Amino acid sequence: MFEEHGVVFIIAVGGETTLYRDRLQAIADECRKRWTWFWMVSNLLPNPADPDFDPFSAFDNGYVIASVDGVEKHHDDSRKRKGLYDVVESRLFAAAGAGRTILTTTTVHVGNLDQIEPILSRFKGHGILSTLEFATPINEAANLMFHVVGERREAAIDRIFALKMKWGWQLNVSPLMLELMRTRNVRRWGGPKNCPSVRYAISVTTEGVRKSPCVLAGGAELVPSCSNCGCHVPTLFLGALRFDILTLITAFWFLRRGRKVNTEAMSELATV
Amino acid sequence: MNSRNVALDTRNKVPFMFVVRSLLDFLVHLNVSATLRYTPQILRLGWRLLVGKLVVASIDVTKACNLRCPYCYELPYLVTLSKGDGYTADDIRKLV
């Protein structure tokens, strides 16, 4: 179906994508036939039934986007699983040490707004890039105890912009993408009809049903609040269409070489 | 309305040297073999973007998840790995 639509590349989402190696293998095989690539979004918690599966090295045309909510306790508390961050970090560092190109993604909400710089700091020197987006309200108006919207998002974006100037490439989101994510700008380009995701992306459920308007939706049950959208996917499209060089660099993050690093030496240095 | 040409309300200016430095850094760390391998599809992607056609597909490969993050909006629809979701690799091949 995707081939008929002329789709260039694929993003595997879930659920947890790495629970089913055979399904990812099917995507990898089909993409390889077309000389293209795919991304898979994962929480990096291993499947007890398939503990040896390493999504970083399993596919030569597959690239992992790891979900990270914060560092250490912040990640564990956010995901209600003690020790989860240690597992995620050790897998990330092992893959980085093997020279894999890795992107982490953080969905920013009120509870982890202060975690962006700690994440960047933790992955510094490991060649791990980090991106972010804002949590989008689904099926409801924004919950001000959780969602970063309105003036709060304006202030957050100003702070993230300063982080971008400080951390450069390691924060894999372009300044234009940040500007586009401001609530007042979202209301100019967004909406279920205007959003570039509707034109340039197709999303399907596990039943093979097309989601409308975008990946954040799910049939009639899940409806995103477009006026408060925090998704970075449409901002990638808009930045690319404006020929913004920093957005193009951001979009092609997987074309960067990984940096083979001695993770043990890095850990020792960190403890000195 | 074409969202591509919407005027934006921007607050922050990007220093020219930041752009140059970022571009140089990207080029220095470019994976040449991957870039060459994907160049035809990257060009196709650019062309399709310009003419307003579909470029990317996202696929829910499973409803199973090994976490139950309280903020996940798909939480009511998630299943356990043991229960599964009846989806197969062949289904994926047909979709892709």
Helix (H, G, I), strand (E, B) or coil at A25: helix
d(CA A134, CA A254): 22
d(CA A228, CA A138): 10
In tens, the pLDDT along A111-127 reads: 999 999 999 999 988 88
CB contacts of A153 in chain B (<8 Å) are: none
Distances (CA, A) of A227 to A3, A20, B8, B72: 32, 35, 15, 20
**Cβ contact, residue pair A202, B91, below 8 Å:** no
List the single residue in A with minimal CA-CA distance to B64. A15
pLDDT (0 to 100) of residue B1: 47
List the single residue in B14, B60, B70 with the smallest CB-CB distance to A204.
B60
d(CA A167, CA B56): 29
In tens, the pLDDT along A63-109 reads: 999 999 999 999 999 999 999 999 999 999 999 999 899 999 999 99
Least Cα distance to A85 among A96, A98, A69, A101 occurs for A69
List the single residue in A with minimal CA-CA distance to B50. A241
Distances (CA, A) of A79 to A74, A240, B9: 9, 33, 35
In tens, the pLDDT along A150-164 reads: 899 999 999 999 999
d(CA A217, CA A223): 5
In tens, the pLDDT along B36-51 reads: 999 999 999 999 999 9
List the single residue in A165, A204, A245 with the smallest CB-CB distance to B95.
A204
- Residue extents of the structural domains in chain B: 3-50
List the single residue in B with minimal CA-CA distance to A180. B8
**Cβ contact, residue pair A256, B26, below 8 Å:** yes
- Residue extents of the structural domains in chain A: 68-271
ipTM over 0.85: yes
Question: How much of chain A exceeds pLDDT 90, in percent?
Answer: 68
Compute the mean pLDDT over every residue in chain A, rounded to the nearest whole number: 90
